[in-house]
Amino acid sequence: MSLRYHVVSIAAVFMALALGVVLGSTSLSDRLLAGVGGERQSLREQVDSLEAERTALKAQVAASEQFDAAVGPMAVRGQLAQRSVVLIITAEVSDQRRAAVAQLLRAAGADVTGEVRLGEAFTSPDRADQLRWVVTELLPAGLQLPTAADPGTLAGSLIGPLALLNPQSGQPQTSDLARAAAFAGLADGGFATASPGLRPAQLAVVLTGGRMAGDDPGDRAATLARFATQLDRSGQGAVLAGAAGSAAGTGAVGVARADPAIASVLSTVDNLDTAAGRVAVVLALREQADRQTGHYGAASTAQGPVPGTRD
């Protein structure tokens, strides 16, 4: 056998090996591709099924919201007859949500006497010292500040008597002139503005968003919760109502519920962004007028969705 024969034989062996590898890998690739294709189809079917389920659930939620919005005025009819309410609104609350609450309050028979809109500076830790100073300077004659030094309680001890009637006598706690001057000073500092023609009311509802935004959200939430508590003490009662997320640790509702001293006097609602939550606000105000306190909404810390459904 010649050298050429050996070379050709060796070359043929390597070619056969290479061809086998190619054919084997091709067969394996086909099987892998077929398996991947099948898995992909299965995943696609699962995704389609989940999307269909999500669409159906969204439709159910929308229908439930429409139903709650339709029956809400009937559910609260007469609950606040002969009662007056002032709205206190934080910067996160939209005009649409504010208007929805005001409309339901009127459907319940309440006299909505006006609005106080809190500025972003109101809960800012960087402006706390300035807020304390402004409150001290603007306090009308005859009113006294509490011993507590936190800005929320101090601000409530000023805005409370300005916006609420005396719970014992049912009379305004300040003169019209003193009320106008104090709100002008608060507006100049960016802390709060009152709607034109604001009249003192018996009850107050504080509307806020979900989790507090900005630096030090926990401090901001505590300021608002303590402010609402002082409002409660200044009139016949108050409700602190926040949107989804407000019952968390950095939400004002969450801070209020976690503090026994606050939770025992101030009522809260944690789902203001729903029609059911707005109904709960009205019914909780009625409870406050009757010297009762409760915590309502969808969070685990709520006693039930609305008054009358407590565990």
Residue 83 and residue 215 in one domain: yes
C-alpha–C-alpha distance, residues 175 and 121, integer Å:
26
d(CA 289, CA 283) in angstroms, rounded, equals: 10
Distance of alpha carbon 83 from alpha carbon 112, whole angstroms: 9
- Based on the domain organization, do 265 and 148 belong to the same domain? yes
Same domain, 82 and 57: no
**Cβ–Cβ under 8 Å, residues 253 and 281:** no
pLDDT tens, position by position, 52-64: 666 655 554 554 5
67 and 207 part of one domain: no
- Residue 308 covered by a domain: no
Cα(167)–Cα(160) distance, integer angstroms: 11
- For residues 63 and 82, membership in a common domain is answered with no
Residues 30 and 102 in one domain: no
DSSP string across 267-303: EEES-TTSHHHHHHHHHHHHHHHTT---EESSSTT-S
The model's confidence at residue 6, banded by pLDDT at 50, 70 and 90, is low
Give yes or no: residues 245 and 120 share one domain. Answer: yes
305 residue type, one letter: P
> How many CB atoms sit inside 10 A of residue 115's CB?
18
For the chain, counts of helices (H) and of strands (E): 9, 7
Quick: pLDDT tens for 231-287. Answer: 999 999 999 999 999 999 889 999 999 999 999 999 999 999 999 999 999 999 999
Neighbours of 286 (CB within 10 A): 22
Residue 198 located in a structural domain: yes
| Segments forming the whole domain that contains residue 270 | 77-296
Please check whether residue 297 is in contact with residue 271, taking contact to mean a CB–CB distance below 8 angstroms.
yes
For residue 309, is it within any domain?
A: no
Q: Of 76, 95, 129, which one is at a domain's C-terminal end?
A: 76
Considering the domain architecture, whether residues 202 and 238 belong to the same structural domain is answered as: yes
Residues 84 and 61 in one domain: no
Whole-prediction pTM: 0.79
Between CA 157 and CA 239 the distance in angstroms is: 16
Q: Which of 33-47, 90-104, 147-161, 249-263 is the least confident region?
A: 33-47
pLDDT at 59: 55
- Do 139 and 234 lie in one domain? The reply is yes
Question: Could you tell me if 173 and 161 lie in one domain?
Answer: yes
In a domain, 301, yes or no: no
Q: Which two tokens stand for residue 113?
A: 């006497």
Instruction: Out of 19, 51, 76, pick the residue that ends a domain.
Output: 76
- Together in a domain, 184 and 229: yes
Question: What is the total count of domains within the chain?
Answer: 2
Question: What single-letter DSSP state applies at residue 127?
Answer: G
Does residue 134 belong to any structural domain of this protein?
Answer: yes
Within-domain flag for 302: no
Domain membership flag for residue 157: yes
241: left (phi over 0), alpha (psi -120 to 50) or beta: beta
Boundary of a domain, candidates 76, 95, 126? 76
